[in-house]
Homo-oligomer: A and B are copies of this chain.
Amino acid sequence: MSAAQTGTSEPARRATMGDIARHLGISKAAVSYALNGQPGVAAATRERVLEVAQEMGWHASSSARALSGSQTQVVGLVLSRPPDLLTTETFFMRFLAGVESVLSERGWSLLLRVIGDHPADEMATYERWWGERRIDGVILLDERYRDPRVDLVERIGLPAVLCGGPVKGVGIPCLWTDQSGDAGLVVQHLADLGHRRIGHVAGPGEFVHERARRRGLRRAAAALGVEVVTVEAAYTGPESEEATRRLLTGDAPPTAVVFGSDVMALGGVRTAAALGVRVPQEVSFVSWDDSQLTSLVAPRLTALQRDTPAFGRLAATVLLDAVAGRRPVRIQVPPSVLVARESSGPAPA
């Protein structure tokens, strides 16, 4: 019967530094110096230690290391959005993949919590993780107005990086996106195609980046003599369908609609199909987030594309810098690129 079958009742003995020391007849300290590349051991001894460690399949106990070194080499991430959104929206997975690539490259790990849309739980999780010394830092996604998470991490001294809209006056490192610039790309694209009345199915206004997008769209539109009508919806298909329906069936419907996410844009496509409105002949659609999904539907969606895995990599890198004690930085992520596909075309005459 294997150890796996009996679980903890027959725990597998894993080698420790003490085992190596005993095997070679030297002290634990010498083994430690040898394994960590520290001076103070003869080259020959070091070699024998490394050999035996390899042979015994030795790995440093993360607990022991954390206990003495006070670093866990673990980064925390809480995904707090309504469950159905998390599972539909591919942003999180793409971001996660980027974060992970940096972490695993440096031998760090990611502690993940998936919770519903309960800000209190999110805060409690950070506090507990930090209190229990489980993590060395956290990535904060989706900045909100007067975000209480910023106060929390500053108060308890938890290194963090804030990913969100343009941020002012917070003492932690931030990644911000130029939503105005991105808005300009969309409006320009649609204006070039002759559209003069643009609908905007926006995500919840509690998020800093959503407000920034609305501002950006208004300004860009004003500069080009275009009108923008914003309607707000949750980041879900059904809510977006409903919002799109309101836009397209109202008085003076827009000839183009911008959606706050790929999932919302897909909802829009469904509504257009249901109403018998052809895309892009009668209405043009643009998604404010690109993913494989936008290419999986017909017509393929014109979308603002940004390198989300790169965003995740950047977040991880900045966080590791913060953990290492670097002064907080404020970094602008590379601007999006507008990928024109089949869902946007000339405005109807």
Residues of chain A having any CB pair with chain B under 8 Å: 1-12, 14, 57-64, 66-67, 70-72, 74, 83-84, 86-88, 90, 92-94, 96-97, 100-101, 104, 109-115, 127-134, 153-160, 171-172, 237, 263, 266-267, 269-270, 273-274, 291-293, 295-298, 300, 309, 322-328
Contacts and interface: CB of A to CB of B under 8 A. Distances in A.
Given A97-B86, A111-B110, A133-B14, A323 B8 contact: yes
A335 B90 CA distance: 27
A325 B292 contact: no
Contacts of A160: 4
B293 A293 contact: yes
B83 A87 contact: no
A158 B128 CA distance: 27
A11 B157 contact: yes
Contacts of A6: 325
A157 B2 contact: yes
A318 B86 CA distance: 24
Given A237-B296, A325-B6, A114 B134 contact: no
Contact of A328 (B5, B61, B112, B131): B5
A113 B327 CA distance: 28
Contact of A296 (B94, B109, B270): B270
22 contacts: A2-B155, A4-B153, A4-B154, A4-B157, A7-B322, A8-B70, A8-B324, A11-B70, A14-B130, A61-B67, A63-B66, A63-B133, A64-B67, A67-B67, A74-B111, A87-B97, A92-B93, A93-B93, A100-B113, A110-B112, A237-B292, A273-B298
A59 B129 CA distance: 9
B114 A111 contact: no
Contacts of A104: 113, 115
B263 A296 contact: yes
A9 B323 CA distance: 9
Tell me the number of copies of this protein. Answer: 2
Contacts of A154: 2, 4
A112 B100 contact: yes
B133 A61 contact: yes
A97 B111 contact: no
Contact of A131 (B59, B83, B273): B59
A184 B172 CA distance: 56
Given A72-B63, A83-B97, A4 B172 contact: yes
Nearest to A84: B292
A324 B8 CA distance: 6
A160 B159 CA distance: 33
B292 A12 contact: no
Given A7-B326, A114-B96, A158-B4, A134 B62 contact: yes
A7 to B, nearest CB: 3
Given A114-B100, A131-B14, A71 B324 contact: no
Closest 5 CB pairs of A and B: A59-B131, A3-B157, A12-B157, A7-B325, A273-B298
Given A88-B292, A270-B297, A292-B88, A133 B7 contact: no
B8 A132 contact: no
Contacts of A4: 153-154, 157-160, 171-172, 322, 328
Contacts of A113: 100, 104, 109-110
